[in-house]
Structure 1
Amino acid sequence: MSRLRAACSCIALLSSLGAGELLAGDIQANVRDKAGKGVANAVVVALPATPTPGTTGGPSATMIVDQINKEFIPYVLPVLVGSSVNFPNRDNIRHHVYSFSPAKTFELPLYTGTPATPVLFDKPGVVILGCNIHDWMIGYIYVSESPYFAKTGADGKAVLTDLPQGEYVVRAWHPRLEGREEATERKLTVARSGATETVWEIGLLPDLRIRRAPIPGQSGYH
């Protein structure tokens, strides 16, 4: 009987250790401008200080960047390297989507509906989207080499979830970031459970996007 109890205790101990190994922590990020206001559409990414196999890259689900009312929706889309993105045109006119960015150069000539083949983003970096027909249409795809990333909401906050415990290099990026993304780097320690908080105060460059012009004699915009 004592041997049975000992065996059960051993099994329970191993089970608890196994469950503990599944525990993971979060990073609660807050990105603000110089005036202390939350910055939306910032991407926060955490890279393991000592990368291990399986923690970077790899296939991911197909994502979507819509074209609605002659705008890219969302304005900023973070994806994992190896992801594919579809660019459906939901307007009743044709668009011509392209990018000349080193991380991904591609072109989708004038079309409506959804292209038959999504675009594969197989290199990390920032991809700037444009439309040859509508100059004000600008969008961004942030291709992350790490699976641990998140985009800030209107309040400037984002949560990176389920990070294994350990040391991470964390940085923030925004389309109008003043300076280099690498300048935002910091080291954080993520515990086996719970949240680690971090705050950035970043400078923002002026928004130089071309403004949409009103349609003569109408209430809408081009």
Structure 2
Amino acid sequence: MKTRSGIPARVRGHLATHAACGVLMACALALPAASAVAGDIRAAVHDRDGKPVADAVVVAVPAGGAAGAAILPGTAEEDQRNKEFVPYVLPIQVGTRVTFPNNDNIRHHVYSFSPAKAFELPLYSGTSASPVLFDKPGVVILGCNIHDWMVGYIYVSESPHFAKTGADGKATLGGLPGGDYSLRVWHPRLEGSEQATARQLAVPATGAADVAATIGLTPDFRARRAPTPGRGGY
């Protein structure tokens, strides 16, 4: 006896099994997309006069102090151009290796005495022999033994969630798992401690959390370039 659809019961059983497998596979493929949802932090940093602060590093650490999702550190570059460190502030994650290419037509001698990373790259031009591993969190102040005004900063974050503000004082930290975070701000001229800027912030699983931070800045005591342009020099 034939079924109403004209398909034997045995064949219909096989078709049903294949259909169920197809549904399960589709659900499995959909799971990563569902678990990949993440939120953002949109930060705006100003000084006490209401002016936007550039080169401020905004860091978010998950509640409890954990480093958060496992994000492998990569590589970064701290250039030397026109007798300056470029960028002036370079934020990186712990475990990042940084190269120090010299794109000037003179040699530089890069060094740091900072507790987070003390190192020295003797006089060289072009690209140094090997990158430098930054394996401790903290602020690393860069200098050049030949040019006293050359100062740069590498901010080594224990968290993979960080960003640097632009000229408009704004920075976006993207792709954070939803939850509670401790947010803090650092700047080379920050008045007071970085920890004093910390605040608690809830990040949604999707969408963005907006936060405004006001920080005090100390005067800029960077050494003036010497000699003056057009009068020769080193």
- TM-score between the two structures when normalised by the length of structure 2: 0.85
Q: Which stretches in structure 1 are left out of the alignment for 5+ residues?
A: none
Asked whether the 8 Å contact 2:138–2:157 carries over to 1, the reply is yes
Q: Which of 97, 104, 108 in structure 1 is aligned with 2:121?
A: 108
Structure 2 letter corresponding to 1:153: G
- 1:123 equivalent in alignment to 2:123: no
Q: Which piece of structure 1 moves more, 88-97 or 120-129? A: 88-97
- What CA RMSD, in Å, does the superposition of the two structures yield over aligned residues? 2.4
- Show the counterpart of 1:75: 88
- Show the counterpart of 1:32: 46
- 1:157 equivalent in alignment to 2:170: yes
Task: Please say which structure displays the higher CA radius of gyration.
Answer: 2
CA separation in 2, counterparts of 1:75 and 1:155?
A: 16
**1:19/1:36 Cα in 2 relative to 1: closer, same or farther (>3 Å)?**
same
Equivalences, count: 220
**1:69/1:6 Cα in 2 relative to 1: closer, same or farther (>3 Å)?**
same
Structure 2 letter corresponding to 1:167: D
CA separation in 2, counterparts of 1:79 and 1:104?
A: 13
CA separation in 2, counterparts of 1:62 and 1:74?
A: 15
Structure 2 letter corresponding to 1:34: R
Superposed displacement of residue 116, structure 1: 1.2
Asked whether the 8 Å contact 2:105–2:125 carries over to 1, the reply is yes
- 1:138 equivalent in alignment to 2:147: no
Q: Deviations over 1:88-114 (max 9, x none)?
A: 111111111000000000000111111
- 1:173 equivalent in alignment to 2:192: no
Structure 2 letter corresponding to 1:162: G
Asked whether the 8 Å contact 1:212–1:221 carries over to 2, the reply is no
CA separation in 2, counterparts of 1:196 and 1:6?
A: 41
Superposed displacement of residue 21, structure 1: 1.5
CA separation in 2, counterparts of 1:176 and 1:221?
A: 29
**1:43/1:53 Cα in 2 relative to 1: closer, same or farther (>3 Å)?**
closer
Asked whether the 8 Å contact 2:62–2:68 carries over to 1, the reply is no
SS at match of 1:67: strand
Q: Which stretches in structure 2 are left out of the alignment for 5+ residues?
A: 1-11
CA separation in 2, counterparts of 1:78 and 1:53?
A: 16
- Show the counterpart of 1:148: 161
Superposed displacement of residue 156, structure 1: 0.3
- Show the counterpart of 2:226: 213
Superposed displacement of residue 170, structure 1: 0.7
Q: Which of 87, 91, 102 in structure 1 is aligned with 2:100?
A: 87
Asked whether the 8 Å contact 2:61–2:67 carries over to 1, the reply is no
Superposed displacement of residue 8, structure 1: 6.6
CA separation in 1, counterparts of 2:55 and 2:69?
A: 24
